[in-house]
Structure 1
Amino acid sequence: MNDIPVPSYRVRPSGDGGPPWRMIAVGGGLAMALLVGAGVVWGVSRMGGSRSVPLIEPDPRPFKVRPDDPGGLRVPNQDELIFERNRGPAQSGGGQLAPEPEAPRLDALRAQVAQPAPRPAEPAPQAAVPGSQALAPQAAAPQATAPAAPEAPARPAPAPNGRIRVQLGALTSEEAAQGEWDRLARRHAELLGAFRPQVVRFEREGQATLFRLRTGGFADVAAAQAFCEQARARGMPCVVIR
């Protein structure tokens, strides 16, 4: 038996046509080295060179542009200046100086002060005419007359044998009618002081009984109507009963 050890791999013959792996590995290493070198050179050039701060400038174009045709309402002479309109011939030329201020005449003033002032002539005394009265310097003012106070209406009173009466209300009971008279007499004593109450019972079929409050003794209807006018002016109901 042969005791020589045989290795586990086989020697590949050189002429088998496979790719040259060694040359590929060497080329890849060289390419990587070139890339790293180029990166280092670029970084050094950026750090070593002069770096300027960027300057921010505004837009040089105009912010607003006036249109050629603004539009809107057309007003005559809208583009003319105020001080260039209606300039007369006197204003078109050069400026003119105003006249000099008037100076006072001192000699004329001194001569006027030096002259004595004329004395006023005294009035001649008037001869007194017998039987005539001297005129007062001022006429006496007429005294203002106070306006006459309106005459108060005469206080009404019942006439003897007067039969015309007036009605002042209609209530549901005799006590209510008498109480209404007492209330009216207290409030309008100057109108009802001379009269006496008259309570008249009034019944109608199918209706409630009423008690009419009346007073009277007027000579005629005109006197009763005058009384009712005064009563209505005071807020009292009043009807002439004929």
Structure 2
Amino acid sequence: MDEDAAGVKDEPSLFPRVLIAGISVAVVVLFAALIWMIYSQGEGGGEPILVEAPEGPTKIEPEDRGGMDVPHKDKLVFNRVSGERSDADEQLRPIAETPLERPDVPSLEARIEESAEPVASGVKEVVAAVSGDPDKDDGAKAAVAEMTADEPDVAEKDAEKDSAASKPSKEKASAGLPRDQWAIQVAAYRQKHYARTWMIKTKFEHKEVFGDLTSELVETKRDMATYYRVRFGSFPDRAAALAKCDEVKKLDLNCIVVAPE
């Protein structure tokens, strides 16, 4: 009995296979039904809907437009684009300049020669007509003698120049300020035209301080360089010069007192 029971095997059940096959068939049927519904949904709905714009203009200008009345809006100057081709050539860049004839200007040497005039410094000429009358000749000679007597001797002039050149002078000043009175110095420049321009400008802008004073430029040699000092004056004593310096310093300018020589 035990051997017979051991030789008999249990046969597998068919239910799982049938269940899997049924589920697969159901899925295929549902998928096919879904596809059919999608493709057959638009059938039998009547004619298709036609969408079109209404007839007539899109915008109609009202009789009363309202708003602000803008002047000159109908001027022809705004109608620049007409759509028609112009017969004239279009100019995209300015026309080339027409060269002018060079004026006939004389050279610099010619202008210098024309503008040069004979300079007679301290020389007086007397032209006397030579005639046979001795009285007129004597009068001309007397006039020439009188004029030449007024002129200093050339030798004396040369001697004065030599003596002035022999003196070791470091400063050359104009005759604007007296050397025996006090003065004030406000600025110094290496270039003479800068010093002169600054002096004139300062005296004009600060008339209340420098208006009643005399100005001058003093040329000074120092450390192998030339300076032009701007000075104002003159003052009778040191106290007056110091008082004026106080007024100058209130203008944010430098100021030193210059003693008389």
| TM-based fold match above 0.5 | no
Normalization by structure 2: what TM-score?
Answer: 0.32
Normalization by structure 1: what TM-score?
Answer: 0.34
Higher helix share: 2
